[in-house]
């Protein structure tokens, strides 16, 4: 082995051994607690899939198609799924009844105004003092300017406030983009799969944008982005902290400094507030099992996702990729159920 | 009392037995002042503060204003900080978007600099929101700092990790006009080379955001400042090195404690501190270890109600601030400190500096000596030499000390062990474009990383394709990452790294902290905690360790005429088997310790000396172990010039084998996993051994000296050493390997 290869191996090795050695003890269990069986069975699953799909290729085994754009080649899959998607039945009035959205109005003044008969911001439009401000707010709570309406709410409300769920009811159901990504690590490693589901007609269209290799990442991001740009509101699970900034960072890695300004419903934040009672943790898998009653039969621990993907990259065998694609698809569809559940608990429950 | 009289009076003390080996008088110097151009508000501020610029300061300011990258190497207390702060503030005053990044080698120095910057900010009535941004900065405060701070102070370790998040720093990096790197003499050897790579990665990010900040560097005096600045940053520099601040006369004494065997060197150090303090002289004593700082503070008597304070790493920031403030205001009359006070901490000038034990480098010695001298008054520096050949050599040969060159700062950007990790980091930050120079091109390295699927070469450049965090796989230095918390009644008393805890916080160790003695009840390695209780005992403890080296795997070997040369992986272990209880310097008891060895795996080169050579040497009455040990030291002293590293980056070990015969000399990398120095030694050994023979044989000394076989960091106090034995062995090796040390 050459000297440089040996150094490269040290880099790889140093990283995997690192955790055990820094503690100065042999106790690796201090840093992570692998439910040993899950890892072993995932390994068995991978070997089985490699065996099963030996000699086959992705394009013939799945509905993925090759796409070319300005940045090169990427893979795209489109699958219509029969699944209802409903949005809350809200009207602007449900949000505008909160007079505190007007700068200068606090709890006390709101109470006084309500007693005087001003029950929504719309009523305030002709008020001698608050009229101008009320008017400018009232105007944005309609179809064409919901992004501005979202910004006004952002000024006063935390992201887990139910007014955001109410706001989502003002969008067309076909404006929604449910997003979930799969990455090779947790900070600045490549993204290889971007899942995007959006309601169409009766059901939901699931799109998966896949980088067949790291070199296709930018083309894949571009393909995903062009779809997302047609949609109005993003719905994710922890996407406010993870998925969306991650995508933005990867774009900036390729010299594209764009940010996504879409209104964003991060269901993780609502779940933590509303559904976490009596639940062990707020991982999507846990919520699925305990609250939505979904049980995945073919799932792999997320920490092994990069390894499965790498096995696909190296071997070209689509087998190890299939559980990741299924996992990502299921995440998107579970978010639909979770969204409905949250609406039930909040907005729809009120009425 | 005048310093001169104090020295005379000292000679009359009961414990004076001609310990003063030498007095060097450094003459006083008049100040020269100069003019520089800057904003009127700065002019007002300087007048307000009654500051007149020395000519070296004004020259630095003018050079910086002319757009030059400047390195300032004037001594401690010559006003370096002001010289680079003025042009930075001048720019920030006049360009509302402009930002500046200050980089300090330690968190403590960053905090210190923050105070200084805030003072100037206040003085100028500005609102720049200067902040420290490092590992201690709470996550919630970070976005605000990146957005609003126009001066951010950080360290290389932090930047190494932050760079991959550059999109969050876009505004800061994109508007950056100055990068200030202070104390750059500490960026040398392997650590320095890593920092140089971080700086090159930073430069790529600057390019990406279209900024091109000017670099301002400051350093202690080193032999090669311009070369070092260029190697560190890849840029051309202008040097400001002449000191034009005024200086009073400085008396430099060499103190040999061996002339008075009744008291140990440490004890005499304590006496000197007490003596000077009682004569009204503010005194700072530098010691070689944290423990000695505490002991000397403890053993010296204070002045009236002001006891001698200790100062060292591991203290809580507020404790450090208090001592610094006390020194500045003069309330504190005496401090015993480790080299933590050697760097740029602002404590003002002192009357007396005692250097208790040669600190290992000329650069350090002068940094410490530079703390003495206030205004036009005479000042005093005392070097207390210890009982080892190196210290004693300097005491006996003062010219060797005073005329000696400062050390070179050496960097190596060709060591793939260092560069490849940073290339992976760089590719995580931005694709590495084809033919892109990160300092230089690294085609082969990139190919090898691609070979292992750490990078992937694409038309858009080499992309990071690993599943790990590249920055987590790269360590900038070899400081142990485990931090032990010392708890007293559940409250944090201080922190220390693992090796330090092995020495000072093992079970039943006495731990000194600000003059109080604590007894360690338990060292829990699992929880990384040492529990102590306060107990005044009249002894202190000292752990005894022994190093061993075990070859794990031989990677390559070559053999010539019975001399085997090897390269491979070794494990270096330090066993802490016992500790001593001591009263002053007398051992009163010894107890066993039950601690797992401190181990690290690294790479090593070793070569064998045939038994026939060693037995002949012994027959001639020389010491074979001393000969091998001396060669080990001399080889290590020359290695930095062959493998481009710092002496402190390598370790050595030599052993005379019984009964199987022969001897081995080992040179290993002092970095976990190895950093390629030992491998370089393997490649160049013949040449290196020939130079070693020349070095030792041509040295004029009798029995060894710092220029040949004395090591400033020998774990065995430079014993045994046999210069003639070393020459004998090297000549015999030369006969076999084909050199004679005379260039033939």
Distance CA B498, CA B267 (A): 28
- A119 to chain B, closest Cα gap in Å: 38
pLDDT for position A297: 66
Q: What are the structural domain ranges in chain A? A: 53-87+171-350, 92-159
- B451 to chain A, closest Cα gap in Å: 8
pLDDT band at B571 (very low <50, low <70, confident <90, very high): very high
The answer as to CATH 3.40.50.300 being correct for domain B40-240 is yes
Dump pLDDT digits (tens) for B501-533.
Answer: 999 999 999 998 887 889 999 999 999 999 999
Nearest-by-CA chain A residue for B679: A3
Helix (H, G, I), strand (E, B) or coil at B599: strand
**Contacts of residue B679 in chain A, CB cutoff 8 Å?**
3
- A243 to chain B, closest Cα gap in Å: 15
Q: What are the phi and psi torsion angles at A203 (to 5°)? A: -125, -145
Long-range contacts of B567-571 (CB under 8 A, 24+ apart): B567/B603, B567/B604, B567/B605, B567/B678, B567/B679, B567/B682, B568/B603, B568/B604, B569/B601, B569/B602, B569/B603, B569/B604, B569/B674, B570/B601, B570/B602, B570/B603, B570/B604, B570/B666, B570/B668, B571/B599, B571/B600, B571/B601, B571/B602
Helices B723-737 + B624-643 axis angle, to 10:
70
B728-739 residues labelled b (16+ CB within 10 A) or e (exposed): bbbebbbeebeb
CB atoms A253 and B472 under 8 Å: no
Q: Which of B430, B465, B598 sits opposite A253 (nearest CB)?
A: B430
Distance CA B33, CA B25 (A): 25
**Contacts of residue B167 in chain A, CB cutoff 8 Å?**
248-249, 252, 257
C-alpha distance from residue B734 to each of B73, B563, B613, B693, B727 (Å): 42, 10, 12, 9, 10
- Chain-centre distance for alpha carbon B391: 19
The ipTM value here is 0.87
* B698 pLDDT more than 70: yes
The answer as to CATH 3.40.50.300 being correct for domain B3-26+247-402 is yes
pLDDT for position B291: 87
C-alpha distance from residue A244 to each of A251, A252, B558 (Å): 11, 12, 56
Q: Which of B164, B421, B473 sits opposite A188 (nearest CB)?
A: B164
Dump pLDDT digits (tens) for B12-34.
Answer: 999 999 999 999 999 999 999 99
What's chain B's Rg over C-alpha atoms?
27
CATH of domain A53-87+171-350: 3.30.420.10
Residues 6 or more apart whose CB falls under 8 angstroms from that of B221 comprise B73, B75, B185, B241, B363, B366, B406
* A14 pLDDT more than 70: no
pLDDT for position B167: 95
Q: What integer is the mean pLDDT of B300-312?
A: 82
- B582 to chain A, closest Cα gap in Å: 30
**Contacts of residue A241 in chain B, CB cutoff 8 Å?**
none
- B479 to chain A, closest Cα gap in Å: 11
CB atoms B449 and A8 under 8 Å: yes
* A197 pLDDT more than 90: yes
Interface of A with B in 285-314 (CB under 8 A): 306-307, 310, 314
- A248 to chain B, closest Cα gap in Å: 9
Dump pLDDT digits (tens) for A55-65.
Answer: 999 999 999 99
pLDDT for position A350: 55
> Chains A and B: how many Cβ contacts under 8 Å?
121
B308-339 residues labelled b (16+ CB within 10 A) or e (exposed): bbbbbbbbeeebbebbbebbeeeebbbbbbbb
Q: What integer is the mean pLDDT of B195-199?
A: 98
CB atoms B448 and A5 under 8 Å: yes
Q: Tell me whether A258 touches chain B (CB under 8 Å).
A: no
User: Cβ distance A272 to A279 under 8 Å?
Assistant: no
pLDDT for position B124: 92
**Contacts of residue B468 in chain A, CB cutoff 8 Å?**
12, 15-16, 185, 189
Distance CA B585, CA B37 (A): 58
Distance CA B219, CA B70 (A): 11
Q: What integer is the mean pLDDT of B666-685?
A: 92
pLDDT for position A281: 85
Distance CA B683, CA B661 (A): 26
Distance CA A274, CA B389 (A): 73
pTM score = 0.89
pLDDT for position B263: 87
- How long is chain A? 351
Q: What integer is the mean pLDDT of B343-370?
A: 90
**Contacts of residue A248 in chain B, CB cutoff 8 Å?**
167
* A23 pLDDT more than 70: no
CB atoms B170 and A189 under 8 Å: no
User: Cβ distance B669 to B631 under 8 Å?
Assistant: no
Nearest-by-CA chain B residue for A187: B469
* B597 pLDDT more than 60: yes
pLDDT for position A36: 61
CB atoms B464 and A2 under 8 Å: no
Q: Which of A9, A14, A218 sits opposite B460 (nearest CB)?
A: A218
pLDDT for position B715: 80
CB atoms B420 and A7 under 8 Å: yes
**Contacts of residue A24 in chain B, CB cutoff 8 Å?**
482, 498, 525, 596, 598
Q: Tell me whether A254 touches chain B (CB under 8 Å).
A: yes
* A295 pLDDT more than 90: no
Q: Which of B452, B458, B482 sits opposite A12 (nearest CB)?
A: B452
Dump pLDDT digits (tens) for B435-459.
Answer: 999 989 999 999 999 999 999 999 9
Q: Which CATH class is domain B549-737?
A: alpha beta
**Contacts of residue B459 in chain A, CB cutoff 8 Å?**
72, 215
Beta bridge partners of B278: none
Report the Cα–Cα distance between both ends of chain B, in Å, rounded. 61
pLDDT band at B112 (very low <50, low <70, confident <90, very high): confident
């Amino acid at each position: 082995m050459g000297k440089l290869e040996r150094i490269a191996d040290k880099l790889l090795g140093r990283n995997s051994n690192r955790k055990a050695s820094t503690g100065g003890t042999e106790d690796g269990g201090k840093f992570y607690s692998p439910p040993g069986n899950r890892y072993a069975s995932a390994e068995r699953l991978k070997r089985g899939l490699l065996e099963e799909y030996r000699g086959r290729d992705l394009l013939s085994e799945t509905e993925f198609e090759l796409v070319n754009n300005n940045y090169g080649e990427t893979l795209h899959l489109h699958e219509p799924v029969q699944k209802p998607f409903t949005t809350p039945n809200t009207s602007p009035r449900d949000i505008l009844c909160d007079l505190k959205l007007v700068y200068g109005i606090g709890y006390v003044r709101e109470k006084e105004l309500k007693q005087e008969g001003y029950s929504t911001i719309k009523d305030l439009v002709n008020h001698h003092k608050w009229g101008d401000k009320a008017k400018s707010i009232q105007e944005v709570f309609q179809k064409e300017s919901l992004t501005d309406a979202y910004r006004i709410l952002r000024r006063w409300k935390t992201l887990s406030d139910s007014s955001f769920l109410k706001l989502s009811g003002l969008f067309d159901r076909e404006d929604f983009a449910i997003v979930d990504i799969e990455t090779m690590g947790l900070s600045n490693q490549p993204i290889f799969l971007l899942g995007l589901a959006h309601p169409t007609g009766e059901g939901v269209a699931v799109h998966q944008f896949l980088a067949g290799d790291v070199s296709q990442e930018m083309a894949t991001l571009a393909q995903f982005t062009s779809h997302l740009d047609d949609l109005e509101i993003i719905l994710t699970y922890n996407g406010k902290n993870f998925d969306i900034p991650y995508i933005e960072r990867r774009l900036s890695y390729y010299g594209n400094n764009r940010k996504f300004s879409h209104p964003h419903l991060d269901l993780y934040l609502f779940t933590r507030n509303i559904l976490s009672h009596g639940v062990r943790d707020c991982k999507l898998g846990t919520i699925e099992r305990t609250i939505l009653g979904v049980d995945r039969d073919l799932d792999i621990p997320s920490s092994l996702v990069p390894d499965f993907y790498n096995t696909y990259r190296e071997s070209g065998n689509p087998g190890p990729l299939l559980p990741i694609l299924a996992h990502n698809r299921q995440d998107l569809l579970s978010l639909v159920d979770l969204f409905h559940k949250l609406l039930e608990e909040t907005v729809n429950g009120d009425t | 009392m005048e310093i001169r009289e104090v020295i005379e009076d000292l000679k009359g003390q009961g414990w004076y037995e001609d310990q003063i080996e030498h007095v060097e008088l450094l003459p006083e110097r008049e100040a020269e002042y100069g003019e520089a151009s800057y904003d009127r508000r700065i002019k007002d501020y300087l007048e307000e503060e009654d500051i007149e610029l020395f000519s070296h300061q004004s020259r630095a300011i003018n050079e910086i204003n002319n757009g030059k990258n400047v390195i300032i190497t004037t001594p401690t207390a010559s006003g370096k900080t002001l010289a680079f702060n003025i042009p930075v503030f001048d720019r920030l005053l006049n360009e509302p978007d402009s930002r500046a990044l200050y980089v300090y080698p330690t968190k403590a120095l960053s905090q210190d600099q923050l105070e200084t910057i805030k003072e100037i900010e206040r003085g100028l009535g500005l609102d720049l929101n200067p902040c420290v941004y490092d590992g201690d900065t709470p996550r919630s405060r970070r976005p605000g700092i990146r957005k609003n701070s126009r001066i951010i102070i950080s360290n290389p370790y932090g930047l190494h990790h932050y760079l991959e998040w550059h999109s969050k720093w876009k505004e800061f990096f994109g508007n950056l006009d100055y990068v200030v790197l202070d104390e750059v003499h500490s960026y040398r050897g392997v650590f320095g080379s890593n920092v140089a790579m971080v700086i090159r990665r930073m430069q790529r990010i600057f390019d990406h955001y279209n900024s091109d900040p000017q670099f301002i560097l400051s350093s202690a005096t080193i032999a090669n400042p311009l070369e070092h600045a260029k190697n560190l940053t890849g840029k051309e520099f202008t040097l400001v090195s002449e000191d034009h601040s005024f200086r009073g006369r400085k008396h430099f004494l060499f103190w040999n404690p061996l002339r008075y065997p009744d008291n140990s060197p440490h004890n005499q150090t304590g006496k000197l501190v007490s003596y000077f303090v009682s004569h009204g002289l503010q005194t700072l004593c530098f010691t070689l270890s944290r423990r000695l700082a505490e002991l000397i503070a403890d053993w010296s008597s204070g002045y009236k109600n002001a006891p001698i304070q200790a100062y060292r790493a591991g203290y809580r920031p507020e404790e450090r601030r208090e001592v610094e403030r006390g020194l500045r205001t003069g309330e504190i009359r005496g401090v015993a400190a480790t080299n933590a006070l050697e760097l740029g901490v602002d404590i003002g000038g002192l009357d007396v500096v005692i250097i208790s034990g040669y600190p290992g480098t000329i650069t350090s010695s002068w940094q410490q000596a530079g703390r003495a001298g206030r205004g036009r008054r005479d000042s005093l520096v005392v070097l207390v030499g210890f009982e080892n050949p190196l210290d004693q050599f300097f005491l006996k040969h003062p010219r060797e000390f005073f005329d000696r060159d400062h050390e070179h700062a050496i960097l190596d950007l060709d060591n793939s062990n260092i560069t490849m990790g940073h290339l992976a980091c760089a590719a995580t930050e931005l694709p590495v474009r084809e033919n892109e120079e990160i300092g230089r091109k690294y085609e082969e390295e990139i190919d090898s990383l691609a070979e292992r699927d750490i990078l992937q070469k694409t038309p858009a450049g080499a992309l990071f394709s690993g599943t790990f965090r590249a920055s987590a796989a790269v360590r900038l230095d070899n400081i142990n990452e485990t931090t032990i918390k010392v708890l007293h009644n559940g409250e944090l008393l201080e922190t220390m790294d693992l090796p330090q805890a092995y020495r000072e916080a093992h079970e039943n160790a006495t731990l000194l902290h600000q003059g109080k003695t604590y007894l360690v009840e338990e060292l829990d390695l699992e929880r990384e905690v040492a529990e102590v209780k306060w107990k005044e005992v009249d002894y202190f403890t000292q752990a005894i360790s022994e190093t061993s080296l075990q070859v794990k795997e031989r990677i390559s070997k070559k053999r010539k005429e019975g001399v085997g040369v090897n390269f491979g992986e070794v494990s270096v272990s330090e066993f802490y088997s016992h500790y001593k209880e001591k009263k002053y310097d007398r051992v009163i008891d010894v107890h066993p310790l039950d601690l797992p060895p401190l181990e690290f795996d690294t790479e090593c080169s070793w070569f064998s000396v045939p038994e026939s050579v060693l037995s002949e040497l012994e027959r001639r009455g020389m010491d074979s172990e001393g000969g091998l040990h001396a060669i080990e030291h001399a080889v290590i002293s020359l290695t930095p010039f062959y493998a481009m590293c710092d002496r402190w980056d390598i370790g050595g070990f030599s052993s005379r084998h019984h009964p199987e015969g022969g001897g081995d000399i080992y040179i290993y990398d002092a970095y976990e996993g190895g950093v390629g120095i030992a491998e370089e030694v393997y490649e160049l050994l013949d040449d290196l051994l020939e130079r070693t023979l020349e070095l030792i044989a041509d040295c004029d000394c009798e029995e060894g000296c710092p220029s040949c076989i004395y090591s400033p960091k020998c774990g065995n106090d430079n014993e045994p050493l046999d210069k003639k034995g070393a020459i004998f062995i090297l000549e015999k090796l030369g006969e076999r390997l084909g050199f004679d040390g005379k260039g033939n």
